[in-house]
Structure 1
Amino acid sequence: MSQRPHHRPSTPGDAFFAELSGGVDPALLTESAERAATVLVRGARDAESAEIADRLVLLAETEGLETLAELWAGAPPDSLAGCLWRLYLLRTWVYAEPARVAAEFEAGRLRAQVARVVAGVADPPGPEEVKVMIDQVLRGIAQGDFADVLLRAAAFARVVATGRAVLPAESGADAARMLVLAEQLESAGHVELAHGLG
């Protein structure tokens, strides 16, 4: 009977453990993202400062949308982090395509009367008016009630989704995505009203 030579199992070198320790624990990242969102929403509301409100509005521009995405894009829509991600995504889109947004809002406002009123866009809704409205909505994080912020943003997204559905150049998928965003923000607004988002 021949004896099989015994080999010691290979062990990973220091580099292997360095890679592990350098990586970010997903649970810690999620916890940090939620904590940052809580401080922004709950702390900002207590501050009642116009300067803080302005800084909140410009957060995506100063920190970069990619940075916010790393923090909040994967958060559920009924969490503070998930809501902030959707709000900043909406603002970034409005600023990137204000003429298109205004046209879609205009097309949808007669078919979504209640949502049009809740959104609070000036009449007629031109490119500058939709930018002013979305900034007012985000200022509400620091100066108002977060449920109102979410419900106004949801109403705005609903009117735009309605407009997308009736404009011949728009795709049905684009309208459906905007409607999903509106429904997520509205649902989160009702959770905030009922017992506060966690």
Structure 2
Amino acid sequence: MTDPSREFHKPVRRPAELFDRLFAADDPAEVSRAAHSTAQALLSRVREDPSAEVVDRLVAFTDENGIDDIAELWSRSPARSLPGALWRLYLLQLMIHDDPQTAALLYERGRTMIPSSDPVVAGAPSPASPEELVQLIDTILRGLFTGDFAVALDRAAAFCRVQAAGATYLADDYEATEPERASTFTSRALRLSTYANDLAACAALWRRESLT
């Protein structure tokens, strides 16, 4: 998936680059412990006292600060872990904020083609404008801190599946005339499908009180 990035208040790396970026560490085990402890502490504190100001800052964090600080904390965590889930949600949010027009195109194409209830679960209007998709992904992220955590993850997973379906169909459309563009959409579909599986698994783990 080629995840674009937008201009923030300070330079940031592109999400696709960050997804695979390796951070130097003398002790990987210590890095892992720090990732899990910071994710658990942040989530516990905010959910115990979800003040509007704090939640607003967390939802707008990447717009105001970029993604590097979050990446340093959580990007190398296992996909099916608390820090891994938070990392993927923030990265997904950044992707939608960066190019809401493409996101809306993928979502609408996926919504009309996917043979499942995922569009209903995700909760976007039909059809959804670029601005409404930005609002939706922010609402889903807000739900991690103020609502049912597992439901928020399930909504994010459904959102990814709809987007992945749209990317797959667009890849098919472009295969004959613009194979390079088709390849880009195919890669995005694969990455979004992986996100969906991981986020759904995290939701199941959370319900079993096993997401750490």
Question: Same fold judged by TM-score > 0.5?
Answer: yes
Residue 199 of structure 2 aligns with which residue? 185
Decide whether the 8 Å contact of 2:47 with 2:146 is kept in 1.
Answer: yes
Shift of 1:162: 0.4
Q: Deviations over 1:40-83 (max 9, x none)?
A: 22221111322222111122233421121111111001111100
TM-score normalised per structure 2: 0.78
Aligned residues with identical type, % of pairs: 39
Supply the distance in 2 between the matched residues of 1:103 and 1:82 (Cα, whole angstroms).
27
Residue 211 of structure 2 aligns with which residue? 197
Is the deviation greater in 77-86 or in 47-56? 47-56
Supply the distance in 1 between the matched residues of 2:67 and 2:99 (Cα, whole angstroms).
16
Residue 138 of structure 1 aligns with which residue? 141
Shift of 1:89: 0.4
Q: 1:196 to 1:54 in 2, by over 3 A?
A: farther
Residue 101 of structure 2 aligns with which residue? 99
Supply the distance in 2 between the matched residues of 1:77 and 1:150 (Cα, whole angstroms).
13
Shift of 1:95: 0.5
Give the 5 Å matches for 1:103-142: 103-112=105-114, 113-142=116-145
Decide whether the 8 Å contact of 1:47 with 1:142 is kept in 2.
Answer: no
Give the 5 Å matches for 1:62-81: 62-81=64-83
Decide whether the 8 Å contact of 2:36 with 2:82 is kept in 1.
Answer: yes
Letter in 1 for 2:78: P
- Answer yes or no: is 1:173 the counterpart of 2:187: yes
Decide whether the 8 Å contact of 2:35 with 2:83 is kept in 1.
Answer: yes
Aligned length: 176
RMSD of Structure 2 on Structure 1 (CA): 1.5
Decide whether the 8 Å contact of 2:167 with 2:188 is kept in 1.
Answer: yes
Unaligned runs of 5+ in 1: 1-22
Decide whether the 8 Å contact of 1:49 with 1:142 is kept in 2.
Answer: no
Decide whether the 8 Å contact of 1:53 with 1:141 is kept in 2.
Answer: no
- Answer yes or no: is 1:158 the counterpart of 2:142: no
TM-score normalised per structure 1: 0.83
Equivalent residue of 1:110, what SS? helix
Of 62, 65, 71, the match for 1:60: 62
Letter in 2 for 1:127: P
- Answer yes or no: is 1:29 the counterpart of 2:31: yes
Q: 1:48 to 1:197 in 2, by over 3 A?
A: same
Supply the distance in 1 between the matched residues of 2:72 and 2:50 (Cα, whole angstroms).
28
Decide whether the 8 Å contact of 1:106 with 1:125 is kept in 2.
Answer: yes
Give the structure with higher Rg (CA). 1
Equivalent residue of 2:113, what SS? coil
Letter in 2 for 1:189: A
